[in-house]
Every structure is written in C-alpha cells, then in structure tokens.
C-alpha cells in the first residue's frame, strides 16, 4: 500500500509539472503573439507618422512659397500705382478741405507736390468720407461744408477730377478744390438716403 501511495503521489506531482509546463508554454506563445501584433502596430504607426511628416513638410513648403509670392506682390505694388505712394482712407478722412476760389473749369489743376497751404486758400470744410465705385476705384470725396458747429452743415460729393490731395507732412493730408464755398453749398446733398 505504501508503494501504491508513493506511486500515486509521484503521478500527481508529474501531472502538475506537465500541466505547469504546458500552461507556461501556452502563455509564452500568447505573449509572443502579442509582441508580434505590437510590433506590427508600431510599424504601422511609424509609417503613418512618416506620411504625416512628409505631408506637413509639403504644406510648409507650399505656405513658404505662397508667402514669398505675396511679399513679391507687395514689393511690386509701386508698379501698380505708377510709383505713387499708397494712402489709407483713415489718413485722409476728417482732413481739411480748402478752396482756391478759382473758377472750376476744365483747365483747373493744382500742383499735388505742394507741401504747405497756399496763401490764397480758404478752409471750407472737411473730408467726411471717400466714394468708391464697384471696382474699388476712388470716384470722389464727401465734403462736409457750410454750417456752424455741425449745425446746418451739408454733405456734398466732389468728384476726384475736381479735387487734389496734397500731403503736407508724413501724417497730414488736405484736399484742395477749385469750387468756391457757394458752389459747394449749391450742390446736391448726399445724405444717407442718397446712396440707397
């Protein structure tokens, strides 16, 4: 009986070792499969990252080329304006309008290179607004004329062929026209309803 018990114990111990050995082998196989899958996923992720990096580099090169083109266009703006400097509308709105009190005929012209107010110029109002056509071309200015302390003043449009902008210094522009004060006050009012 003792032999039988010892044999049974040896058999149970051997079965446990065999089971543990099989179980460890299965776990190793499963771990190997997981490692292969992780390696495949890492490889795919690296490939995707490489593609994304290449696309980002292409986009950056395109953006740099576009910026260079824009800079070249800005540098060539002088060509578009025949060498004349650009003027922002905010720099001329609210500027003073002077009249030379000369007859406003087709021969009227003022030297736009003047740098100071002429002795015979009379202040008659200020630039209220700039008038553009649908293509963005300046067609005239809206002048605020007449009145006293903004009471009884009138807004009239002076076409650009009858007004000259004169730059007095880096920050100051004035408008000069051949129309006299009476002619301007006789013009049609261009209040808000005029534009609708």
Tell me the three state secondary structure of residue 149: coil
Asked if the model's pLDDT at residue 9 lies above 60, the reply is no
Asked if the model's pLDDT at residue 176 lies above 80, the reply is yes
pLDDT at 98: 80
Query: In 30-180, which ranges are E strands?
Result: 96-99, 122-132, 138-145, 154-159, 163-167, 173-177
Helices (H) and strands (E) in the chain, counts: 4, 6
Q: Where are the domains of the chain?
A: 1-86, 89-195
> Is 168:117 a contact under the CB 8 Å cutoff?
yes
Rounded to an integer, the average pLDDT of 67-95 is: 64
Residue 90 banded pLDDT, cuts 50, 70, 90: confident
Query: In the chain, which ranges are E strands?
Result: 96-99, 122-132, 138-145, 154-159, 163-167, 173-177
pTM as predicted? 0.50
Query: In 21-150, which ranges are E strands?
Result: 96-99, 122-132, 138-145
Instruction: For residue 189, give the nearest of 149, 144, 147, 130 by alpha carbon.
Output: 144
- Domain 89-195: state its class: mainly beta
pLDDT digit string, tens, across residues 124-168: 888 888 888 889 888 888 888 876 666 767 888 888 888 888 877
Residue 65 banded pLDDT, cuts 50, 70, 90: low
> Is 176:168 a contact under the CB 8 Å cutoff?
no
């Amino acid at each position: 009986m003792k032999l039988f018990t010892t044999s049974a114990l040896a058999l149970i111990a051997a079965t446990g070792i065999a089971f543990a050995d099989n179980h460890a082998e299965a776990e190793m196989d499963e771990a190997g499969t997981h490692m292969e899958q992780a390696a495949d996923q890492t490889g795919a992720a690296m490939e995707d990252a490489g593609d994304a990096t290449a696309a980002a580099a292409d986009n950056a090169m395109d953006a740099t080329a576009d910026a260079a083109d824009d800079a070249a266009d800005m540098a060539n703006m002088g060509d578009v304006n025949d060498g004349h400097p650009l003027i922002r509308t905010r720099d001329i709105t609210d500027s003073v309008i002077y009249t030379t009190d000369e007859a406003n005929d087709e021969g009227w012209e003022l030297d736009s290179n003047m740098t100071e107010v002429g002795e015979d110029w009379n202040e008659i109002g200020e630039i209220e607004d700039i008038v553009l056509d649908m293509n963005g071309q300046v067609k005239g200015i809206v002048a605020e004329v007449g009145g006293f302390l903004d009471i009884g003043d009138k807004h009239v449009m002076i076409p650009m062929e009858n007004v000259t902008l004169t730059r007095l210094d880096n920050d100051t522009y004035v408008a000069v026209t051949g129309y006299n004060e009476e002619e301007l006050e006789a013009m049609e009012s261009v209040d808000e309803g005029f534009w609708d």
